[in-house]
Amino acid sequence: MKFKIFISSKNNDKLNINDVEYESLTEIRKKIKKAIEEEYFLSEKFFEIKINEEFSSDASVDSYNKCLEEVTKSDLTISLYNGSSGWAPKNHNIGICHAELVQAMEISSKKSIIIDISGYFKDLKRDKNQENRDDLFKDYIQQYGFFTNPIKLSPQDQNGDGFNKVIIASLKKTILEHFKTRIELSNVYFNIGGSGTSSLNWKKLKYSSRSEIIITILKESIKSSLDFKQFIYLCHSIPDNMSIEDAKSYTGRPFLKDQDLILKHVSETNDENGPIHFIGVYGNASEIQVKNLIGFPDISAIKSDFGIYVWEQNTHVQLIFLNECINPEAVKTKFLLFNNWCKSNGEYNNIIKRAKARFHILNSINEAKSIAMGEISAKKKNRRS
């Protein structure tokens, strides 16, 4: 058995430290490959490092697709981000490094790691098309900025050998942390694997009964969370796969009634965060399906182990789809995975800001409605008089 690691980066850009040029990223990746493949696990060579020098020789569409195919086959993708998105075939506006990272993220954010080495690469040669590709890649990196691990060199390592030593040590540490996370997640998924009595019992339930139980457990989980009980929130369920229309109808488009929901909270509490919507999905919800639920595709939909987090950037609607809620333990675990995800990557503070913005948008709508209704009432009085 080999654990395959794909290392993505630009090829020909040269390391630049204190205005001194050193070797190219191609040479650096070859040294990384040699160092990691020499590591043993239980007396066996365990790692196989994939770099595109081994299988890609031109800037054709075939080579582009071959790189993406290798990402799919790999157990882990590490992107060395130096500021460049890499080459692209004619009529493509996404550089190969950008495309490789997107492909890896689509498989799982837990199998994708970004290491920021951009501080040690200067004066990258770029034409207008390359500049546009690099800007797109930078925007994408910033969207997932919490995954970056910037390389920092001590004074004695401010040279080519020092850089190689530090980046190899950093990669080894990153891979070790990745294995720790995998062990933790495997334990989670063994626990909610779906072969127990409770999972079998849930399979026998009608949609209405399954929906009611999912919502009840989800509410209990949120109430016990110090992070989310302060929000105005609603819990919903899709008691089958989201592709099943009858199951999807149990949730519909709940955010359309948000302005009515906050009227109650304005009068009863001081909460000004939300509402946000938690949706327990018995089966699965895809990115396309959640975008269709919102009504248009231009939204942020971020996939992770819990399911999909959705944010609409104009109205600040927020929905959390918790996939594979196949038994009580799974519902609790999926919510915990989401809670840990947004706390560990810095997204929690952004969720609070968006919830506050959502509240104030809805409150303004209600105030405007009140003003308009007042004008209508005044006109009716005038007509009667």
Euclidean distance between CA atoms 107 and 109, whole angstroms: 7
Which regions in the chain score pLDDT beneath 70? 56-60, 143-149, 188-196, 265-271, 375-385
Strand-strand pairing, 20-24 and 14-17:
antiparallel
- The pLDDT, as a whole number, for residue 144 is 61
Amino acid sitting at position 211: S
Amino acid 58: pLDDT: 61
What sign does the CA torsion over 332, 106, 142, 171 have?
A: positive
Rounded Cα distance between 35 and 38, Å, is: 5
Nearest Cα neighbor of 54 from 115, 86, 96, 7 is: 7
State the DSSP string of 215-234: HHHHHHHHHT-TTTTTS-EE
Q: What is the CATH number of domain 3-185?
A: 3.40.50
Give how far the C-alpha of residue 137 lies from the chain's centroid of Cα atoms, to the nearest Å.
16
In DSSP terms, which residues pair with 47 in a beta bridge? 3
Q: How many residues does the chain have?
A: 385
| Per-domain boundaries in the chain | 3-185, 204-367
Exposure of 279 in the CB half-sphere (CA atoms within 13 A): 30
Percent of the chain with pLDDT over 90: 50
Q: What's the confidence (pLDDT) of residue 78?
A: 94
What pLDDT is stored for residue 298 in this prediction? 81
- pLDDT tens-digit series, residues 28-66: 999 999 999 999 988 899 999 999 887 765 666 788 888
How confident is the model at residue 268, as a pLDDT?
Answer: 57
Specify the pLDDT at position 99: 93
